[in-house]
Amino acid sequence: MSALFSPIKLRGLTLKNRIMVSPMCQYSADDGVATDWHFTHINNLSLSGASMFCIEATHVEAIGRITPGCLGLYSDACEAALKQILTSVRKHSSTAIAMQLAHAGRKASSARPWDGGQLIPESQGGWQTVAPSALPHKEGEAAPLALDAAGLKRIRDAFVDCAKRADRLGIDAIELHGAHGYLMHQFLSPISNRRTDEYGGSLQNRMRFPLEIYDAVRAVFPADKPIGMRVSSTDWVEGGWDLPQTIEFANALKARGIDWIDASSGGVSPLQKIPLGPGYQVPFAEAIRRETGVTTIAVGLISEAKHAEEIVAGGKADMVALARGMLYDPRWGWHAAAELGGEVEAPPQYWRSQPSTQKALFGKTTFGAR
């Protein structure tokens, strides 16, 4: 039996395989509101064969968006647009739908990647960003405002409000975005956090705000629905956030009942030096799993079915999440199941798509038409 196609239980959610479609920013929203592009994108990848699809970084306030085109859940209009999409998804797919809640902090007010990705000045339609400390992401950029007590409360409350909206939408799970140089990661990393109050300095202090957000979201999201967190396991910069600190953070989350750690890396500094290669981040998931016992998701240039199988079967991670691989092959889960002897669900309209040599792929042996 394929390990990749074995079930896994996360609180009250049972997934039929160990594959997740990773949250992928589409930069195609209108003031945070999902558009026709999101309708197409989400409906398409909900049929990938993965047991869980995670909606892209969904921002908890307008100034927390990475770009003007980033998705939000901070208004009734945002919620209504996603409700329409999710209603369509549920008609045709049994895939669990997760949502990544996020705040970009000092990396907000940026141009879309295909427009250069640089900070947009307020004079050109950008906005004032916020962060743990008044330190710009890169030299020459406008500095963010250091968050005061009122700002911290506003953002905590925004995460809570969006978690409630997510539950109303029927979202099955939440992933908090504590990675890639965005706000929670900015608090964790000594590169971006130079505070001298209870939210800066020691590791315990730097972890405080992300843990407060987790606690606040966990308190309002139904107890049978899982919550995970994406982390950057290392900054890839000397003197920055690293794997030993990540393990301590994961243990603190474990004590609070975290359901998974999605182990990524980097993003807090343009000085990072990342050794890219297939599965280059898998050792982080493996170390976190080994040292804490927390369920982990491996990410990072995982594109081959046999590689994904080896990761799960070898105990390096409990699940894998694919991004680019799913965009390139929107039926990746089907093809992996065919290769590994697994089984996926598909709508009956597609049952006749499987080659004659793969009749068991969809759990059906015969079908026909007049």
Residue 91 φ/ψ region, left for φ over 0, alpha for ψ in the -120 to 50 degree band, beta for the rest: alpha
Per the structure, the count of domains in the chain is 1
The answer to the question of residue 296 being in a domain is: yes
Strands 19-21 and 319-322: parallel
334 part of a folded domain: yes
- The verdict on residue 2 lying in a domain is no
CATH of residue 193: 3.20.20.70
- Measure the CA angle with vertex 323, ends 235 and 329; round to 5°: 155
pLDDT, average across residues 10-32: 98
What value does the mean pLDDT take over residues 198-205?
Answer: 98
Residue 227 and residue 214: Cα distance in Å, rounded? Answer: 8
Tell whether 267 is covered by a domain: yes
172, containing H or E segment: none
State residue 97 phi and psi, 5-degree precision: -115, 115
Question: How far is C-alpha 100 from the chain's CA centre?
Answer: 5
Give the pair of three-digit tokens for residue 270: 């343009």
pTM for this entry? 0.95
Judging by beta carbons within 10 Å of its beta carbon (0-12, 13-18, 19+), is residue 288 exposed, middle or buried?
buried
- C-alpha R_g of the chain: 20
- pLDDT of residue 369 exceeding 50, the answer is no
Residue 355: predicted pLDDT: 73
Q: How many CB atoms lie within 10 A of CB 331?
A: 19
297 three-state secondary structure: strand
Q: Per-residue pLDDT tens for 278-332?
A: 999 999 999 999 999 999 999 999 999 999 999 999 999 999 999 999 999 999 9
Average pLDDT estimate for 17-34: 98
Q: Identify the band that residue 156 occupies on the pLDDT scale cut at 50, 70 and 90.
A: very high
Q: Highest-confidence range of 187-201, 270-284, 332-346, by mean pLDDT? A: 187-201
Q: Which sequence positions are flagged as catalytic?
A: 182
pLDDT confidence of residue 357: 59
Which residues form the domain of 34?
A: 8-358
| φ, ψ of residue 149 in degrees (nearest 5) | -60, -40
Q: H or E element: which one contains 210? A: helix 203-220
HEC string of 124-159? HCCCCCEECCCCCCCCCCCCCEECCHHHHHHHHHHH
Instruction: Answer whether residue 225 shows pLDDT above 80.
Output: yes
Distance CA 302, CA 272 (A): 21
Does residue 366 belong to any structural domain of this protein? no
In a domain, 323, yes or no: yes
Alpha carbon distance 283, 277 (integer Å): 12
Asked, for residue 312, whether it belongs to a domain, the answer is yes
Residue 359 has pLDDT above 60, yes or no: no
Residue range 245-276, pLDDT digits in tens: 999 999 999 999 999 999 999 999 999 999 98
Cα separation, 337 vs 323, whole angstroms:
18
| Domain assignment of residue 133, yes or no | yes
Q: Is the pLDDT of residue 344 over 70?
A: yes
The per-residue pLDDT for 360 is 60
List pLDDT tens digits, range 79-119.
Answer: 999 999 999 999 999 999 999 999 999 999 999 999 999 99
List the beta bridge partners of residue 321: 20
